[in-house]
């Protein structure tokens, strides 16, 4: 695979095939990022159907105490999110995409997840920052996760102090009634 950076340094002398390949790489990277976006959206909204679209059959996900093949991981992580937390909100940072070959990539993506939890002292926010270490592959033209490891770098628990009046906002929901599903 030609490195897209080599083409970008001298577009004037790039062949049509080089330019097509460069555009394909950009399209593939967009599709790969969309898989990552669907994963966090599905977790935050507790959307089983959407979460199943991000994994290849037999894919493995290791989130520390929650780990296993996608067929076990998906129901376990959604049950944990639904019962242990009052909400979940992921933010994705930069992704580094390293090409193994035309249909396989290694991706490291920074993330911060904030969850709400009711404990005896009141509601707290659990914040964890870390990285998704992913291997994605394209099968039948579709990019999905084949193997995932979540590597936490830090975590903190802080008391939640509300400053917003919930009656003045469209509050996020953890189902398909959330505003993100309105089209």
pTM for this entry: 0.89
Report residue 144's pLDDT band, with 50, 70 and 90 as the boundaries: very high
Q: Which pLDDT value is given to residue 9?
A: 63
Q: Note whether residue 172 is domain-resident.
A: no
62 lies in a domain? yes
Averaged pLDDT, 24-32: 95
**pLDDT tier, 4 (very low <50, low <70, confident <90, very high otherwise):** low
Mean pLDDT of 132-153: 98
Nearest 5 degrees, angle CA 93-CA 96-CA 100? 150
Residue ranges making up the domain that contains 21: 4-165
User: Is residue 178 one of the residues assigned to a domain?
Assistant: no
Alpha-carbon distance of 157 to 123, in angstroms, equals 10
Residue 101 lies in a domain: yes
- Tell me the angle at which helices 16-45 and 70-84 cross, rounded to the nearest 10 degrees: 50
106, 134 contact by CB (below 8 A): yes
Nearest CA to 159 out of 121, 129, 114 is that of 121
Confidence at 1, pLDDT banded by 50, 70, 90: very low
Inside any domain, residue 118: yes
Q: What's the CATH number where 86 sits?
A: 3.10.450.50
Q: What is the mean pLDDT of residues 63-88?
A: 97
């Amino acid at each position: 695979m030609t490195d897209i950076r080599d083409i970008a340094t001298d577009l004037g002398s790039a062949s049509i095939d080089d330019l097509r390949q460069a555009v394909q790489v950009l399209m593939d990277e967009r599709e790969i990022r969309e898989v990552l976006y669907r994963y966090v959206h599905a977790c935050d909204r507790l959307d089983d159907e959407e979460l199943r679209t991000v994994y290849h059959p037999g894919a493995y996900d290791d989130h520390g105490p929650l780990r296993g093949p996608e067929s076990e991981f998906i129901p376990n992580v959604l049950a944990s999110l639904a019962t242990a937390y009052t909400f979940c909100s992921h933010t994705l940072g930069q992704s580094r995409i390293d090409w193994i070959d035309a249909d396989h990539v290694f991706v490291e993506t920074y993330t911060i997840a904030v969850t709400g939890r009711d404990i005896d002292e009141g509601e707290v926010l659990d914040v964890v920052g870390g990285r998704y270490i992913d291997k994605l592959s394209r099968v039948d033209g579709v990019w999905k996760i084949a193997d995932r490891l979540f590597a936490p770098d830090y975590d903190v628990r802080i008391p939640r102090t509300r400053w917003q009046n919930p009656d003045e906002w469209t509050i996020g929901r953890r189902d398909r009634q959330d505003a993100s599903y309105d089209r």
